[in-house]
Structure 1
Amino acid sequence: MELASESAEPIQDEVLEVLREAKVLARRFYRLTGKPLGVTGEVAEYEAATKLGLQLHAARQAGYDATETRDDGVVRIQIKGRCILNPMKIAGRMGGIDLRQPFDLVLLVLLDADFNAFAMYEANRAQVETALMLPGSKARNERGALAMRQFMAMARLRWARPSEQYKNS
């Protein structure tokens, strides 16, 4: 069952509440152990849903995690999240993107050390396909793992925490 259906709205609310609690636990766990709890992807989905009004979908939905209704119809969004301890030093790779699966956009949600989103970047499928097909990188070509900076350079800044500026530089 998709969480986005009208009859599932109470379920979506409960899921968002559980994700809010997971975010609190992830912060606490990291402060105690110095290790991530392993819920970054779920927290990223929560942040995207609450800040952008996306409709989350059932777990294991092939290709996309959420949808959004826009003027040109329903858009399927694959959400990738990364926790960045120092927002001025963004490095590393995103999780793998499988081009065999259906999606229209990829949304990269950057989380700070407190698991709060500070920026979200969005790129359409054509941009992502082009970047993944560039020759030269086994991680990119075989595993579909783009460098975050590469993704940010081709994407548009969809959302940023107020009073803060995060640029592609």
Structure 2
Amino acid sequence: MTENTEARRVRDILATVKPLAAEYYQLTGKPLGVTGEVAEYVAAELLGLELAPPRTKGYDAIRPTPAGPVRVQIKGRAYGEKANRSQRLGTIKRDAACDTVLLVLLDNLNLEPREMWEAPYSAVEARLAVPGSKSRDRGALGVPEFKKLAQRIWPAADTGF
């Protein structure tokens, strides 16, 4: 994302919203509903992605590469010490014009990024197609299940995080 007036304003808004969303979660145990937007922005900032226009069908961002653009579907989850380990990703769009799925895990105390995991869309689709799970039928994978298909891409593996 290029640093312009609009990008600075978005950063300012998120800086205001994140502590409010974290406090709301601490008080109610429910998310405020901004995790996805925060995850998309954090991924764009840290990984150099270009966010797709709102309501783009099948993906949320583009990763420019020498081989051409890679379309990325971004999922965000807030978790922490007391988080339920069986948390699920939001619905993964099926039959999407997408190349990869990125999971951004945010700390539920402050919505700061903790980890990012990426899996090829084809592997995610293949896992969702395995019969025997109502959640998979709805396009949802658990965080641990997704991590088995994925590779941690942030922070770098040698950081000890």
Which TM class, normalised by the smaller chain length?
0.7 to 0.9
Secondary structure, in 3 states, of the residue corresponding to 1:102? Answer: coil
1:123-142 superposed matches below 5 A: 123-140=119-136, 142=137
Tell me what 1:101 maps to. Answer: 96
* Residue of structure 1 aligned with 2:80, choices 80, 85, 102: 85
Question: Whole-Å Cα distance in 1 between the matches of residues 116 and 84 of structure 2?
Answer: 16
Structure 1, unaligned runs of 5 or more: none
C-alpha distance 103-50 of structure 1, shift in aligned 2 (>3 A):
same
Query: Deviations 1:104-157 (Å, cap 9, x if unpaired)?
Result: 1100011112111100000111111111111211110x2110111111011010
Question: Whole-Å Cα distance in 2 between the matches of residues 22 and 31 of structure 1?
Answer: 14
**67-76 or 80-89: which moved more?**
80-89
Tell me what 2:64 maps to. Answer: 69
* Residue of structure 1 aligned with 2:152, choices 157, 163, 169: 157
* Deviation for aligned residue 1:9: 5.3
Secondary structure, in 3 states, of the residue corresponding to 1:42? Answer: helix
- Normalised TM-score (structure 2): 0.85
* Residue of structure 2 aligned with 1:117, choices 113, 118, 129: 113
Letter of the 2:70 counterpart: V
* Aligned 8 A contact 1:67 1:77 in 2: yes
**150-159 or 32-41: which moved more?**
32-41
Structure 2, unaligned runs of 5 or more: none
Secondary structure, in 3 states, of the residue corresponding to 2:81? Answer: coil
Tell me what 1:46 maps to. Answer: 41
* Aligned 8 A contact 1:12 1:56 in 2: no
Question: Whole-Å Cα distance in 2 between the matches of residues 100 and 43 of structure 1?
Answer: 25
* Aligned 8 A contact 1:79 1:108 in 2: yes
Question: Whole-Å Cα distance in 1 between the matches of residues 117 and 24 of structure 2?
Answer: 27
* Deviation for aligned residue 1:48: 0.8
Tell me what 2:51 maps to. Answer: 56
* Deviation for aligned residue 1:58: 2.1
**Identity, % of aligned positions:** 43
* Alignment size in residue pairs: 159
* Deviation for aligned residue 1:28: 3.2
- Normalised TM-score (structure 1): 0.82
Question: Whole-Å Cα distance in 2 between the matches of residues 89 and 34 of structure 1?
Answer: 12
1:138-149 superposed matches below 5 A: 138-140=134-136, 142-149=137-144
* Deviation for aligned residue 1:13: 4.0
* Deviation for aligned residue 1:18: 2.4
* Aligned 8 A contact 1:94 1:147 in 2: yes
Question: Whole-Å Cα distance in 2 between the matches of residues 137 and 63 of structure 1?
Answer: 23
* Aligned 8 A contact 1:20 1:43 in 2: no
**13-22 or 98-107: which moved more?**
13-22
